[in-house]
Structure formats: C-alpha cells, structure tokens
Amino acid sequence: MTQQTLNRRSLIKSSVALAAATTVPTGWAIAQAAKPLKVGLMLPYSGTFAQLGENITAGVELLLAEKGGKLGGREVQFIKLDDESKPELGPQNAERLVKRDNVDVLIGTVHSGVQMGIHKVVKESGTLTLIPNAGNVAVTRELCARNVFRTSFTNWQPAYAMGLALAKKGIKKASWMTWDYAAGNESAEGFKQGLEAGGGQFVSLLTVKFPETNFQPLLAQIQGLGVEAIGAFFSGGGAVQFVKDYAAAGIKVPLCGSGFLTEGTLQGQGAAAEGIETALHYGDGLDTPKNNAFRAAFKAKTSRDADVFAVQGYDAAQLLAIGLEAVKGNLEDDKALYAAMETTKIDSPRGSITMSPQHNVVQDIYLRKVTNGQNKIISTIAQQLADPGTGCKM
C-alpha cells in the first residue's frame, strides 16, 4: 500500500464498508443519522471581536429554532469554544473540537488568522466546516477544500466594491488603513484593484498591529499623503475606536471602507460615524419579507438589532440545513451532501446568494452611508459578485 494519510472520514468510510460487507447493510449509517449532531462553534466570545461571535451564534441558534431544533431529522448539540481571536491558538483549539470532542460539523470563525489554523486541521480530518465570517482569501482560492464552505465573504469582495465606488465618484487618489494581518492586507489589495479598475490610484497602505487601538501614529500621517479619501478595514471594538479617533482629530479627508468599519458599531461610534460610506453585502433598509422577518426574530431573541454577522451565522445554519436535509442527516453520504450545498440558491436576509465553485458566497455588494445612526443602503455597487477564486483545485 502506498503512503497515504488516513483521515477520520476515510476511516469511518472503511468501517461503513466493512459493516456493509459483513453485517447489516445500512444499519450503521442509520444509527449514526439518529444520533444528535455535534456542532462545534469555534468563535470569539472575548476580545475585540466578542460581539461578532455572539451575533453569529445567535444567528445559528435562530435558524435551528425555526427548524424545530432539528437539522436533517437530527437533534443538534452545540459545543462552544472561545477562540479569543488568537491565531497562535487556532490549530490546538480546532484539534480539541475535531479530535477530542469528535464534532460532526465545525462552524468557525471570525478572525482570518485563526481560520488558517482551523483550515489546516479540517482539511486533514475532512470535517464539514462552515465559515460564518473570516474572509481570508486562501481558503477559497489556492487552499480550497471540498469539505469547507463560506457563507460570509472574502476580504477582497467588499473592499474591491468600495474601490470601484470611489473611482466612480471621481476620486483619483486614496490610501488604506488597517490592522497588519490577512483581513487588513487582503482588503487593501481588493480596494486597490477596485480603485484602479475605475481609473483611480492607490497611494499607500498604512498599518498597525492587530488588535492595537492606538491609531494616532496612523492619523498623524494623513495630511502628508496627498489623498482625497482614506479607506479602512477595522471591525468590532477596534472600529469603534478608529472612527471616534478619526472624527476627534478633525481630519477633513473623507473616510470610507469595507462595511465592517460601521457594522454593529454605530451605537458606540455615535455622531463620529455620520456620513461615512462603506461597502458590504448587507445594510439597513433592505425591505424584503425574509429580512424583515429575520430582523424581528433576531430582536425578539437578543434585544439587539441584527447585523451582517447575525446574517452570516443564520446563513451558515441555512446551508447546513440544506445539506443535511438532502441526505436525511447522514453525513457519510458526502457526495450528495456537498452536491446539495454547492447547487442551492439561498433566500438570505441580505438577498439571494449562491455558492461559487470554490465554495465562497456569490452576492450583491451594497454601497451604504451612515445616516441618523443607520447604515442606509444607497445603491448596489456590484451584482452577484464572486471572488476570483484563483488557484482553487478541488
């Protein structure tokens, strides 16, 4: 026998085949499908992204409640793990869920660096994984995997659209400010490509370490840049601080960004955020039956307003439900499971979405402007925008 990695899924498959050859033909698979489905929720429940993790979790739970507490006929047992948005702990935390807790499905996470740790583990184990936020491009480009699906975005998508929108307004020169890690740097690249595609010029990328919130060294450089706009990627607590500091510094250069800059943060940012334009796959004022029902249910459950993170969690659970229903809860039928997930069209609160061949979400990207404390949608910048997905071989 040649040297081969026997992952958990192939081991399980061999035992199913053995059972089929010797004893009851489908009994084992039926018994598995009758067991509760163990779902690991690996998310940040502390630190700068804690609120994002909470809203993703509430979105997942909301869908499950709509389904009467079962997916594909199986009860669901959640195992929650706080990943603290610490990339150095990513692999060991993912291993804990996959190898110690034996989860059937992993939903996670928010931070792109932590996602790389999860990806390494689940690519090897074959565990079905749904990404409800982290946008690092590699996992649906050169490192794509048939067992990994993303219901959020790539860091490239909203930033590219923001660059396009700025160029369309006639802005010729802009810089990008962000944390120095995958989400920040990849969004800068998307912004640059969008700006240049519209005839603008990307001047510079300015960064601070994640999760640093002393932004004065960045803000102090703006006047010398000679730009007509500053774009930015920050999120959670860091975004609240950045927008407040930007306004307090009295900088006249308009601020824009990936929509995370003002998403789920407006209460904390207050008047400092008014007028900021951002690009994202969700926003306020989407008057559809699906979105209205979702927002009402989310508010009733959490007493908070829904945001993009809640939507992404809800859609991760929607996609999982679609897969599990197609195979009646039997995850071992992975061919049918993945086929159902790959070909579905989901009625999301954000609008209609599908999966790209690389398992990333294809979706409309909206231009929003903060108006009276809301991210009001002004227009659709890019319809059904897919990430380039370069280098993916499945």
Residue numbers at the binding site for ligand BEZ (CB under 6 A): 49, 110-112, 133-136, 155, 183, 235, 260
C-alpha dihedral sign at 38, 92, 118, 87: positive
The distance of closest approach from Cβ of residue 277 to ligand BEZ in the complex, given in angstroms and rounded to an integer, is 18
Distant-in-sequence, close-in-space partners of 59: CB < 8 Å, separation ≥ 6: 132, 298, 306, 309, 310, 311, 312, 313, 314, 315, 316, 317
Instruction: Please state the closest distance from residue 220 (CB atom) to ligand BEZ, in A.
Output: 25
Cβ distance to ligand BEZ smaller for residue 81 or 324: 81
How near is the Cβ of 274 to ligand BEZ at its closest, in Å?
A: 22
Structural contact between residues 187 and 158, judged by C-beta atoms closer than 8 angstroms: yes
User: Residue 58 Cβ, how far from ligand BEZ at the closest point, in Å?
Assistant: 17
- Closer residue to ligand BEZ, CB minimum distance, 74 or 359: 359
Which C-beta is closer to ligand BEZ: that of 136 or that of 360?
136
| Rounded-to-integer distance, Cα 277 and Cα 211, Å | 23
Residue 147 or 178 having the CB closest to ligand BEZ? 178
Q: Minimum CB separation from ligand BEZ for residue 320, in Å?
A: 20
Q: Which is nearer to ligand BEZ, 50 or 227 (CB)?
A: 50
Least Cβ distance, residue 31 to ligand BEZ (angstroms):
38
Query: How far apart are CB 50 and ligand BEZ at their closest, in Å?
Result: 12
136 vs 147 by CB, closer to ligand BEZ: 136
Q: Which is nearer to ligand BEZ, 178 or 330 (CB)?
A: 178
